[in-house]
Amino acid sequence: MKVFLIWLFLLPGVVCSLAAGKNKEERVPAKREAGADAGKLKRGDASPDFMAVDTNNRLVSLKSFKGKYVYVDLWATWCSPCVAQIPHLQRLEKLFKGKKIVFVSISCDENMEEWLNYLRQNKMEGVQLNFDCNRRFQEAYGVQGIPRFILIDKKGKVVDPDMTRPSDPKTEKTLKALKGI
């Protein structure tokens, strides 16, 4: 009976891990709020705002970046496909430094101290935020797994709700082609 109960509790994690490996993305449990119109955002729609804390525990919102394009990276320290994108994201950050674009990495890590330690150990710079698995923003974009990348324009409108990954050569071309970057 104990073996059965252990198996019963481990099975969902194993299924998520297998699914994540198959699609090279980690699964984030989907929680739906009553009446949420999840995943309906498309190009040209206004992006919902978010509130997240930075590495100094200050609140930051999407509105903080108005006037710049925003390339959002939804990730977590425990997500190996997310971590694999970090060097590519850092390369893009250097390439577009001084341009009208900001690269915002939003972690879904629930343990703030582990997240902060990871950032320190890996000397991660740029805009690093954490919203402790706040699902409202993710639900609006229909995020079912991470990593997930989103491109928002200078006025807060969605350019691409499912933007290509930093490792994809199309990403650099798309960003270079943005009007007024």
Given this model, what pLDDT does residue 26 score? 52
Are 181 and 154 in contact by the 8 Å Cβ rule? The answer is no
Given this model, what pLDDT does residue 170 score? 98
Given this model, what pLDDT does residue 11 score? 34
Q: Calculate ∠ Cα 109-115-120, nearest 5°.
A: 160
Are 52 and 106 in contact by the 8 Å Cβ rule? The answer is yes
DSSP E strands: which ranges in 14-164? Answer: 26-27, 51-54, 59-61, 69-75, 101-107, 127-130, 145-146, 148-152, 158-160
Containing H/E element for 15?
A: helix 2-23
Residue 139 phi, psi dihedral angles, 5° rounding = -65, -40
Span 123-165, pLDDT tens digits: 998 999 998 656 788 889 999 999 999 999 999 999 999 999 9
pLDDT along the chain (181 residues), means of 10: 37 34 43 44 94 94 96 97 97 97 96 95 93 79 94 97 97 98 93
Given this model, what pLDDT does residue 132 score? 65
Given this model, what pLDDT does residue 4 score? 36
**Residue 99: what residue type?**
K
Given this model, what pLDDT does residue 134 score? 65
Alpha carbon distance 41, 155 (integer Å): 15
**Residue 157 gets which letter from DSSP?**
B
Are 117 and 107 in contact by the 8 Å Cβ rule? The answer is no
**Cα separations in angstroms, 123 against 9, 87, 126, 167, 181:** 36, 11, 10, 20, 27
Given this model, what pLDDT does residue 135 score? 77
Nearest to 159 by CA among 93, 71, 38: 71
Alpha carbon distance 149, 164 (integer Å): 7
